[in-house]
Structure 1
Amino acid sequence: MIRAHKIRLHPTPEQANYFARAAGTSRFVWNWALAEWERQYAAGEKPTALKLKKQFNAIRREEFPWTWEVTKNASDQPFLDLGKAFTAFFEGKARRPRFKSKKRSKPSFYLANDQLELKDHHIWIPKLGWVNMAENLRFKGKVAGARITNIVDWWFISITVEVADRLPDPRKAAVGIDVGLNRLATLSTGKGYENQAFLKTALKKLRQANKRLHRRRTGSKNREKARRHVARLHYQIACMRDDVLHKLTTRLANCYGIIGIEDLHLHGLLKNRRLSRSFSDAALGKLLNLLTSKVQQRGGQVMKVGRFFPSSKTCHSCGWKWESMELSDRLFLCQNPTCAYYQLPQDRDHNAGLNILAEALRLIGLIDQVVTGIGSDDDVNLAVDAG
């Protein structure tokens, strides 16, 4: 199993300058290789990453001597990345590779495992020396490589490590989860987690910062300062949102072995002009992806219920459907006189979570089995800290 740990770096001004030059070299080599690939492809040739690398190294010392000032991985890895990008494009898995802009692209460069050394909270980089890291590497295993990236004037390193696969712990508890905008997630146990809506909370600050940005003269230093301020606000919002999502998904993955959840059509939801910003702020797609990966790593199973399954309109006890139910109806009222919940107000999301759990167990084939074990409200009592 390959795991990655992203750590913030604390470089000196000279080291930060080295990082910028290495990232610039990597961007230049990518653009050169992409232009040469397009030229050869248009001429009827069959370019490959290895051929382009040999062609570049043949003229590198005479035409691009400044590329030797940084680690060799900054000029070697872009060819491999471009080859993988075109392979994914031809297989229909990604869009066509594009040129990287100095202003719009994210500065980054790669380091192979033989080009770095870890010691406590420091990392050694060729032609630079030891650089301070904010924390030690969490994982123990063989270091496969690393990538240094610049995000809002801060430098981060993402270290990939090959760790041993651990045996999954037996977990028999199952839960159904209904996701939404009012509550980010509502469990079939009745526990709910509110949607923090970080973007909505910081919208006033963002609007003021964007006004200052657009009032600055293009190309001036004050405009660059305003641009960095806007970028820092967006990054702060993203970090707080990721913190909540990671804590929630980790606790759920640790407590439950079977999780039922709706298979949402996220692209369709984002087309709603009134709710698109709220859906983007909730990051439901990232919530589903994180939950799926973490549950699978722990030996569990995530069963996605069909998007057309009427989980909110169906009574979890008798199966009666409320066909005329509106989005504004937050309480579910069963109108079946023979139902134990007849005319008894139920929380709409809780009822949906119970239906999702029953449908997920039916799809797996465990609907008739008694699910026991951990999974009470106390086990999933998550104190979300957004700070």
Structure 2
Amino acid sequence: MARRALILVEGHRRSNGLPYVHAAQRLGLHPITLSADPAQYDYLAAERLEAIRVDTDDLDALISECSRQGETYDIAGITSPWEAVYATVGKLCGHFDLPGPNPTSIEQCCDKFAQRQLLAEGGVPIPAYRLAANAADVESSAAEIGLPVILKPAVGVGSRGVRLCRNIDEVAEHTTYLLGGKHIWRSSPRILVEEFAQGPLYVANLMGNDVVGVTAYEFGPAPHFVTRECIFPAPLTDDEYTHIADVSLRCLQALGLGWGPTNIELRWTKLGPVVIEGNPRMAGGDPKLIQLGYGVDLIAEHIKLVIGEEWDLRTRHSQTVAVRSLVPDRDGILDWIDGGSRAAAVPGVVEVKLYVEPKTPIVRKGDSRDPIGHVIAASPNLAQTEAMLQRGIDLISWSITPFPTARE
């Protein structure tokens, strides 16, 4: 009898790539990663995992490779931890008659302008927005909406190219950055100009049409949106949680989602929850927090859905979990980073990860690539968790030597 395999189209370098592999193995599946560049995922070589080089932007090439693997293995399912190829995954699943997401819904969702239109038509509360293709459009759109505004690429992930612009000079500066060749576009350049919805950010994590839980997010200093800390479950009243869950489910309906994992980003404004974005995928590190907080392995439950088995989202226990990102305050060469093992020994600290080695160049981008590590703590209540987390954070230090400045 052929061994059952799970095809993973691409992986993820920092958060969910390896957890998908491990969850597949725990479920008795042989994970096979198809990637345009397998070497970018360190864990593949480190754990001697099967990986095949293939152009993951080429659907026909993927179909051919999956068919070839099907001669050796029983392909139980196809999925991905990476949003950029998730629509392609849906098309692959359709071709091989396997459970998978609706590719049309995914593609509409990944285009932030198309998503905004669908949410508006569905009566979902969203910020005011305009689409701009050039500097004049951006400036007039910002004037119509009123400053401050958010400028972001219409297609993109990880807060790349997203910036808060508080005055017209910042609007002009960021527009030049986005359109002047410094930002890498995956599609034709289009900028979304958006009202700045002010208030705390929450992320609702859903599987199918079930709200599994809500995470509270805190960012570092403006004008960028680099995550500083997350708390799960978010400290909300029952009414606030219900309101967020209701808006999130309305968002799913408007976007034609509801199969597999989704995360909905919302700001709690003076008018209540406003949807910033719906993402047809797991939210970065949230699955880890949910597993620690509620005992639910969202990644394993997603794989069960992918291979046609029943999932189980029941809460096994309840803890409050917090994660703090280690974010450098300057660019330069990382001389040293120390204290990780001491921080890991603090009672209540459940994970310490350092992403970079000494002598690595540090160049901040103002997005999800900036953190150089994180610390996670968990306990029965928020105050205790925060105290344990802070004790761990205080034990970690590093030194960065700024790059030499060019002489005139």
Larger Rg: 1
If each structure's helix is expressed as a fraction of its own residues, which one has the higher value?
1
TM-score > 0.5 by shorter chain: no
If each structure's strand is expressed as a fraction of its own residues, which one has the higher value?
2
TM-score band w.r.t. shorter chain: under 0.3
Normalising by structure 2, we get a TM-score of 0.26
Normalising by structure 1, we get a TM-score of 0.27
Larger RCO of the pair (alpha carbons < 8 Å, separation 6+): 1
